[in-house]
Amino acid sequence: MLAKHPLATFLALGLSLGADVSIPNQFRATIQLEMPYIGLSEPLEVAYDEVAGMQTMSYWNGMDKYIYNTAGTSYQIIPTAYDGETSVTTCWK
């Protein structure tokens, strides 16, 4: 089962060898989320900075953006369609 989850395998192996395993306080990752049962393939990008208290998540190559701020206002920037046909970019706090 661990072979299907490389990160879990890495963490388990590191811990079993007595290594000090920790998650970094800053990182950026690009992920391709696959849901084959419904035919969905969704690109995601995540950036995290623990010191600054910020995290961003971007879906669909930047179409939907979420900016999380632990010390202040967070934002959601998404396309919004008021008439069901055309959309505008909208920023929500």
Residue 60 lies in a domain: yes
Phi, psi of 80 (to 5 degrees): -125, 130
Rounded Cα–Cα distance for residues 66 and 60 (Å): 12
Task: Give per-residue pLDDT as tens, 10-67.
Answer: 566 666 666 565 677 888 888 888 888 998 888 889 898 988 889 999 988 888 899 9
pLDDT of residue 3 exceeding 50: no
Q: Total domain count for the chain?
A: 1
Residue 1 lies in a domain: no
Residue 83 lies in a domain: yes
Domain that holds residue 63: 25-92
Residue 88 lies in a domain: yes
**pLDDT score of 29:** 86
